Structure 1
Amino acid sequence: MTTRLTTLLTLLFLALAFDAAAQPVRNSFPPEEFAARRAHVFEKIGDGIAILEGTTERPGEQPFRQGNQFYYLTGVSEARAIALLDGRTKETTIFLLPLKALDVDSKYGPGALYPGDDSARTSGVTRVLPREELTAMLAPIAREGRTIYTPFRPEVLGSASSYDTLLLTRLNHDDPWDGRFGREEAFRLKLMTASPKSEIRDLDPIVDELRAIKSEREIAVLREATRIADRGILRAMHAAKPGLYEYQLQAESEYEFKRDGAYGPAYFALVATGKNTWYTHYHYDTAQLAPGDLIQYDYAPDYRNYTSDVTRIFPASGKFTAHQREYYVIYLRLYQAIMGSIQVHESPVTVTQRAVAKMDAIVAAYTFTDPAIKKAVLEFVDTFRGKKGGFLGHAVGMEVHDVYGSYRTLEPGMVFTIEPMLRLPEEHVAVRLEDMLLITPSGYENLSRSVPIEVTDIEKFMAAPLPKDLQ
């Protein structure tokens, strides 16, 4: 009991020290943040209705995390919540399970929302009603046959992105020994039955459009998520030495994640040493670091329902070999050329096409001693030529591969990473860096710039004592 109490007090102290709400997330933003998002939805749906389901309770002793679309519009972190946004009246109604005294008095303590005026004031919505009253509220909507918007895409609960949940739902449905429908599809069928004259439309594109541009409050959370990610990588980088295992480096980051109030990881740890660096999403995490290995380290937290995504390369022995320097430095210069080509209001293709000219000049001036490296570098640059350009990166937000919305051009408030990969087939190794970039009115800000990326800076950091703020 004493140990448990000490742990709870420690978590409370950390939450206050880092201005981080304890997970599961409650009230990350003030009610007006969510109200502003709903106001945009009201504009888009006109006279229609938007209805969203929150996620279910977790099986067993698992922490609760709300689905991203539901949380984005409501800020409500309660199991089986349902939200109804009325485009005609501009009112929002939340439907919740009834209060269970045992949960408050004995199991979970205070903080949950239940039907009633107090919960409505806390969450900034029009009313919070018992869940069973949804049927009655749907009756006049059904009589009029008003259009209903609801998410079509499977929910994302953390450690995943929309693509992942879509794929899993399709695989389950197509599996002859499974064949289940997704929860969202079942909900749509319920709505069609309850309101047969209504047209059911997809709400996801409307919400995705909003999520593409981050508010100032969202940017502040993403900035903190990236600060935590950076510190996690720094701890792993400093701890690295031959003989350790990949999972031991992961543990260094996870200590930092939890110390700074994160819910957990944003995705499985991509800790790849030696030949494992070849694989883009290697996560077996069991290999032993060997002398002369380079480590590709890609790991970030899920913080207040937002994520980060940062990758660095560092040597297991603390020193790059001459051969490693040759291919790492040329890759780094090409990576920086792409980053330096980013301009606001331009398409990713325009950015990569501009970068090609810079990369050609860098390659022409570089001293290669290994023909295999030069061949791989030339092939790398060629992937960015042509009308389609090359892969620039992906959006980051509530999901590590966030919804794109109107990501046709790079606009202020967008956050994304660049992560091109250079592979050396003869050695079965690869290098891939990744930074969190915030588009600003004048260009971009690198949110992850505090983690060393130059060879000399990496070696200096690994050789020096661990900084006091990381101890």
Structure 2
Amino acid sequence: MKYLPIAQGLFVRNRRRFVKQLKPSSVAVFHSNDVMPTNADGTLPFRQSSDLFYLSGIDQEESILMLFPDAKDERMREVLFVRETNDQILTWEGYKLTKEQAREVSGIGSILWTHQFEQVLGSQLFEAEHIYLNTNEHLRAVVEVETRDARFIKKVKELYPLHKYERSAPILHQLRAVKSEQEVALIQQACDITEKAFRRLLGFISPGVMEYEIEAELYHEFLRNRSRGPAYAPIIASGGNACILHYTDNNQECEEGELVLMDFGAEYANYAADLTRTVPVSGKFTPRQREVYNSVLAVMKAATQMLVPGNTLGQYHKFVGTVMENELIRLGLLNEQDIRHQDPVNPLYKRYFMHGTSHHLGLDVHDVGNRFRPFEAGMVFTCEPGIYIREEGIGIRLEDDILITPQGPKNLMQHIPIEADAIERLMQQ
């Protein structure tokens, strides 16, 4: 891994918090992600299961975590299974974790080889009543590829049909939504790398540059700062492309007089940053572009102040909608009479602002969490309003990452330029 070692205390505490939520006499099992194939003998870069990483810190394929807090044999209360290596694997793939290294990373005392898992599990399940199984239960997940967790679920239910089965996801959604100080520091590191990349771009963007050239600059800055790369596919959208919310072709020329919307974030130690900035290709906003830009920024500032303990996403988005309506009226895009007669289920502002304002951020860009749960200190949310005027070729979105604290919102991207005057000044240097 490119990132620096993480103190094992983070993962020890995460496991301790998780097992406290289990029913008596329970075993919980977590599998690593697969190495995904491409074509022929090709594979995609490995990305660890967020849940397994959260509980163990292990960033290697073919790893399994078994937690059995009530095991009579103390050595079986936490067991980590890792891939046994050999000279051939070392020659063709490189170094894999030794048992000692896995113990140092995870803080788990009992380290065994992955091929020992089925035998050990069988011996322990005779003592257990409940088996906690893990699946991707993200609200927006579309899972079409069978995972190692899914294959295990089918097999274990066939072999042990009389046990009581439980879900790990609701517990992990509850725990992962609130970040510890160590996790916030890792997210901050991802944000700081993202800042370096953005500042690099301000001196690079000019008429004639290709969207993919901007994307290439991001990769350069990410990799040289210990990031594996982007936390998600970067959006580099110039001109009318900025009105396509998930535009990732990034293959057009940036032309004078246009805006370029850039939505990107570095990954660091599997934690994500998520930034959006929209800048003028020529280095100076037109009067209309600046007018729309300042409206988006006004909504963003108002929304950020609502990211406080006790608020809810429902109340928050209702407030943001009202602020956005006022800005769209000021821009001449809506009028008060139409708003008075609008369908409350489909408000008119959604013509120009059709996505949500915030989502959880952490090990996943759209991190897990219950949308009905009140905000709590330690949660990290994006704040990303936008206005998209297709007929004018203007799409502007601004986004920062906000930590909720007892004292109010803390912007983890507060040092990244965002005011229109600052953007113009830095681009023209």
TM-score, normalised to structure 1, is 0.79
2:57 and 2:105 in contact (8 A); partners too: no
CA distance in 2, matches of 1:153, 1:357: 34
Asked whether 1:32 is paired with 2:32, we answer no
Structure 1 residues 400, 356: CA separation in 2 closer, same or farther (over 3 Å shift)? Answer: closer
CA distance in 2, matches of 1:406, 1:289: 38
Asked whether 1:249 is paired with 2:214, we answer yes
- Cα drift, residue 144 of structure 1: 4.5
1:80 and 1:96 in contact (8 A); partners too: yes
What does residue 31 of structure 2 align with?
53
1:117 and 1:127 in contact (8 A); partners too: no
Greater CA drift, 55-64 or 313-322:
55-64
What does residue 229 of structure 2 align with?
264
Structure 1 residues 325, 192: CA separation in 2 closer, same or farther (over 3 Å shift)? Answer: same
CA distance in 1, matches of 2:318, 2:142: 31
Greater CA drift, 232-241 or 267-276:
232-241
CA distance in 2, matches of 1:123, 1:145: 24
What does residue 97 of structure 2 align with?
113
Asked whether 1:153 is paired with 2:153, we answer no
CA distance in 2, matches of 1:306, 1:132: 30
1:265 and 1:301 in contact (8 A); partners too: yes
Amino acid in the other structure paired with 1:92:
E
Alignment of 1:236-315 (within 5 A): 236-315=201-280
What does residue 70 of structure 1 align with?
52
Asked whether 1:228 is paired with 2:211, we answer no
CA distance in 2, matches of 1:221, 1:446: 15
Structure 1 residues 341, 62: CA separation in 2 closer, same or farther (over 3 Å shift)? Answer: closer
Unmatched tracts of structure 2, length 5 or more: none
1:145 and 1:195 in contact (8 A); partners too: no
CA distance in 2, matches of 1:73, 1:354: 36
Alignment of 1:261-410 (within 5 A): 261-355=226-320, 371-372=332-333, 391-405=356-370, 408-410=373-375
Structure 1 residues 118, 258: CA separation in 2 closer, same or farther (over 3 Å shift)? Answer: closer
CA distance in 1, matches of 2:372, 2:310: 10
Asked whether 1:83 is paired with 2:60, we answer no
- Cα drift, residue 328 of structure 1: 1.7
Amino acid in the other structure paired with 2:142:
L
- Cα drift, residue 82 of structure 1: 1.3
- Cα drift, residue 279 of structure 1: 0.8
- Cα drift, residue 141 of structure 1: 3.9
CA distance in 2, matches of 1:131, 1:435: 41
What does residue 125 of structure 1 align with?
108
Describe the SS at the equivalent of 1:45: coil
What does residue 118 of structure 2 align with?
135
Alignment of 1:139-218 (within 5 A): 139-144=122-127, 146-153=129-136, 162=138, 166-169=141-144, 181-218=146-183
Unmatched tracts of structure 1, length 5 or more: 1-21, 155-161, 173-180, 465-471
2:359 and 2:381 in contact (8 A); partners too: yes
1:143 and 1:195 in contact (8 A); partners too: no
Structure 1 residues 145, 285: CA separation in 2 closer, same or farther (over 3 Å shift)? Answer: same
Query: Over residues 104-137 of structure 1, what are the superposed CA-to-partner deviations in whole Å (9 max), with x where a residue is unaligned?
Result: 4x45555x324x5664355311311122332332
Query: Over residues 17-49 of structure 1, what are the superposed CA-to-partner deviations in whole Å (9 max), with x where a residue is unaligned?
Result: xxxxx43x6x74222211111111211113200
Structure with the larger helix share: 1
What does residue 432 of structure 1 align with?
397
Structure 1 residues 363, 284: CA separation in 2 closer, same or farther (over 3 Å shift)? Answer: closer
Describe the SS at the equivalent of 2:376: coil
TM-score, normalised to structure 2, is 0.87
Asked whether 1:445 is paired with 2:416, we answer no
1:138 and 1:195 in contact (8 A); partners too: no
Query: Over residues 35-72 of structure 1, what are the superposed CA-to-partner deviations in whole Å (9 max), with x where a residue is unaligned?
Result: 11111121111320001111234554654332111111
2:328 and 2:349 in contact (8 A); partners too: no
Query: Over residues 389-443 of structure 1, what are the superposed CA-to-partner deviations in whole Å (9 max), with x where a residue is unaligned?
Result: x933101111111111476222111111122221224324321111110111111
Structure 1 residues 98, 356: CA separation in 2 closer, same or farther (over 3 Å shift)? Answer: closer
Query: Over residues 190-238 of structure 1, what are the superposed CA-to-partner deviations in whole Å (9 max), with x where a residue is unaligned?
Result: 1112322112222111112111011111101100101111221222232
- Cα drift, residue 288 of structure 1: 0.5
Structure 1 residues 129, 242: CA separation in 2 closer, same or farther (over 3 Å shift)? Answer: same
Greater CA drift, 95-104 or 71-80:
95-104
Structure 1 residues 358, 265: CA separation in 2 closer, same or farther (over 3 Å shift)? Answer: closer
CA distance in 2, matches of 1:218, 1:98: 30
Asked whether 1:101 is paired with 2:104, we answer no
Describe the SS at the equivalent of 2:203: helix
1:238 and 1:461 in contact (8 A); partners too: yes
2:211 and 2:238 in contact (8 A); partners too: yes
- Cα drift, residue 103 of structure 1: 3.5
Identity of aligned residues (%): 28
Amino acid in the other structure paired with 1:97:
R
For the aligned residues, what is the CA RMSD? 3.0
- Cα drift, residue 340 of structure 1: 2.7
- Cα drift, residue 357 of structure 1: 6.3
CA distance in 1, matches of 2:183, 2:132: 25
CA distance in 2, matches of 1:304, 1:339: 26
- Cα drift, residue 186 of structure 1: 1.8
1:142 and 1:196 in contact (8 A); partners too: no
Query: Over residues 146-177 of structure 1, what are the superposed CA-to-partner deviations in whole Å (9 max), with x where a residue is unaligned?
Result: 211121228xxxxxxx567x3141xx6xxxxx
Amino acid in the other structure paired with 1:103:
I
In the alignment of these two chains, the number of paired residues is 412
Structure 1 residues 288, 400: CA separation in 2 closer, same or farther (over 3 Å shift)? Answer: same
1:48 and 1:149 in contact (8 A); partners too: yes
- Cα drift, residue 86 of structure 1: 0.3
CA distance in 2, matches of 1:330, 1:135: 59
CA distance in 2, matches of 1:229, 1:122: 26
What does residue 456 of structure 1 align with?
421
